[in-house]
Structure 1
Amino acid sequence: MIRVPVLSPDGEPLMPAKASRVRRWLKAGKAKVVNNDLNLFQVQLVEEPSGKETQDILTGMLPCKLFTGVAVQSRGATLFLAHLNLPFKNVTKRMSQRAMMRRGRRGRRINRKVPFNQRNHRECRFDNRKGHKIPPSIRANKQLALRVVQELNKIYPFTDVVVEVIKARGDKGFSPTMVGQYWQIEQLEQAGYTVHTQEGWYTSNLRQYLGLPKAKNKAESSPAAHAVDGICLVASRFMRYRLIKGRSGTWLGGIAVTPCQFAVISRPPICRRQLHLMIKSKGGKRRGYGGTVTRHGFRKGDYVKAEKAGITYHGYVSGDTKTQVSVSDANWKRLGQFTAKKVQLLQRNTGLVSTVGLSNLTALSEVEVNGSV
């Protein structure tokens, strides 16, 4: 049975309730549907609840180079799963373009016909080859994962986060997954969470014991790609391995893997405002490019409802013309161009694009909640 997030009248996250109970609340007028930045189905109670006791809920996070898996799990149910499409490639590409344009501007500024000591060279202000800064692409990855955890904390009552720590062989600086992982743990702790770390081999052993599937294609947007490991990370706090006479052992404790809401989350691929294009147009002039504000009161990334030929579409604003607004789906593929008067704003741009569905991920082994096998 799917659990639905529940808020108190003052916005405090409560223990999720079964979908059947939530339907009765909505029918009786005891609750109302509210929005959140992750587009999850959520309700808020109209009157004060009889109690605010909660069970132990943890969040598991598996960081990778291009994707991250997130799971919110209690001992008795799986509450939420997410597959994050990280902006690593997009940020790397834009940083390379910025460096190329900067080199071009500096090259055009220097007059090479004069002696070297008379050229317009700017002296180095500091040695930028030494330092301990996080690369922009890695920082963008970690900040997206941190943003999702913070949004989930507004929906589910948890305080602990379990993060998988990667230990790659060879030079540690050449593993984008390892770079910045302890910086991310520090950021989570500064945000007020209790962070537990877990190594990958332990996660793999738990996944095999629970009988959870693992997709071979890590790029597919499914719970079995990365989110399943988030469940195993949380399970490491509810289960432990005990040796028997020093030779073999067994797992003590257990969890229940149940259907839940599953979301594919990414950043909207919006081009920020540029003063000009990189390539000159005819006549030697360059037109402006990018920006987030349209001419019709919408912003790029706004979630809207649009109508054309009697058909209603839901999507995100991705561009505009003089009289029309471009609307795209969550994969940023254009659904069409619509007359501005027939486009209705549903939610302002939150910096996140989320596609929510249902996960039917279940454990194949018979592991009960009380720990008996």
Structure 2
Amino acid sequence: MGGIPRETDAGISPVTIGQEWFRAEASKLAPLKEIDSLDTGKYRTQLGLVKDKKDKSKQVPETHANDAIALASTAFIQYKEFHTAKIHGHHWVGECSVTKAPFIVVTRPKLFRRKLYQENYSKGGILKRQGGTITPFGFRSGDYVQTSRKSEIIRGWVGGFTNSEKTKNISIYDHNWSRIGQFNPKNIKLIKRSTKLCVVN
């Protein structure tokens, strides 16, 4: 991304690039205060927050949000040095209470651009269609929909369809764009038209 300094392209994660972009954009709205990340653990412990260091792929506050909350708390509490006639050390000054808040995961649907057919032939020498936005069932790729399987309510995003003489179904995906399953269009209800984002809280 232009304007972001880096030593090499190797070892730079998309998250790091995103953080730098956010700092640059946020600084246009208000002054930024940099906090030494080495102190994050102290603030996290003081607030009773837990960090999951084992699996960064988990989309939970313990992995992606608690460090940010700990850093934000430095505006209200500080671990300061003190001296008296007899003793010296450090203590906490100020107050900060952590309350519940929504944790939202935002991703992009992995939709194919319009392409009439796949490049490889399937059985019988047939080229299968690929891509496109509109389905023949009134739904669009990326639409947020609801259906059911047995007694389970399923919600997800439209990501493809089959429309042949024998089979008519719509593929529904979760926010990570893993296919949940294929369902009869007659049993699918539209919740929200595509916004080109998958939002889960």
TM-score scaled by length of structure 2: 0.72
- Cα distance per residue 1:311-346 (max 9 Å; x no partner): 643222121111322223334343433332332211
Whole-Å Cα distance in 2 between the matches of residues 319 and 261 of structure 1?
A: 30
Q: In the alignment, which residue of structure 2 is the partner of 1:176?
A: 12
Runs of 4+ with deviation above 4 angstroms: 177-181, 274-277, 282-288, 307-312
Query: Over aligned residue pairs, what C-alpha RMSD do you find?
Result: 3.5
Residue of structure 2 in register with 1:233 after alignment: 71
Task: State which of 108, 117, 120 in structure 2 corresponds to 1:267.
Answer: 108
The 1-side partners of 2:157 and 2:93 are apart by: 47
Tell me the matched-pair count.
Answer: 189
Whether the 8 Å contact between 2:47 and 2:97 is mirrored in structure 1 is: no
Deviation at 1:310, TM superposition (A): 7.2
Which one of 155, 160, 163 corresponds to residue 314 of structure 1?
Answer: 155
Give the 3 Å change call, closer, same or farther, for CA 255–351 of structure 1 in structure 2: farther
5+ residue gaps, structure 2, are: none
- Of 204, 211, 214, 2:41 maps to 204
* 1-structure distance, mates of 2:145, 2:43: 42
Given residue 103 of structure 2, which amino acid in structure 1 is its aligned partner? F
Q: Does 1:248 align with 2:103?
A: no
Distance 1:204 1:302 in 2: 41
Higher helix share: 1
Query: Does structure 2 retain, via aligned residues, the 8 Å contact 1:173–1:179?
Result: no
CA 1:184 to 1:341, structure 2 compared with 1: closer, same or farther past 3 Å?
same
Deviations 1:163-183 (A, max 9, x none): xxxxx9xx4654425546444
Select the structure with the greater relative contact order (CA < 8 A; seq sep ≥ 6): 1
Q: Relative to 1, partners in 2 of residues 1:331 and 1:175: Cα closer, same or farther, differing over 3 Å?
A: closer
Distance 1:253 1:266, change over 3 A: same
Q: Given residue 2 of structure 2, which amino acid in structure 1 is its aligned partner?
A: K
Aligned to 1:262, what secondary structure does the other structure show? Answer: coil
Q: Relative to 1, partners in 2 of residues 1:219 and 1:309: Cα closer, same or farther, differing over 3 Å? A: closer
User: Could you tell me whether the CA contact under 8 Å between 1:328 and 1:335 is conserved in 2?
Assistant: yes
Residue in structure 1 matched with residue 51 of structure 2 by the alignment: 214
CA contact (8 A) 2:173 2:179 kept: yes
Overall identity of the aligned pairs, in %: 32
Task: Tell me which amino acid in the other structure corresponds to 1:176.
Answer: I
Residues 172 and 284 of structure 1, relative CA distance in 2, 3 Å threshold? same
Structure 1: distance between partners of 2:17 and 2:177:
29
Aligned partner of residue 268 in structure 1, secondary structure: coil
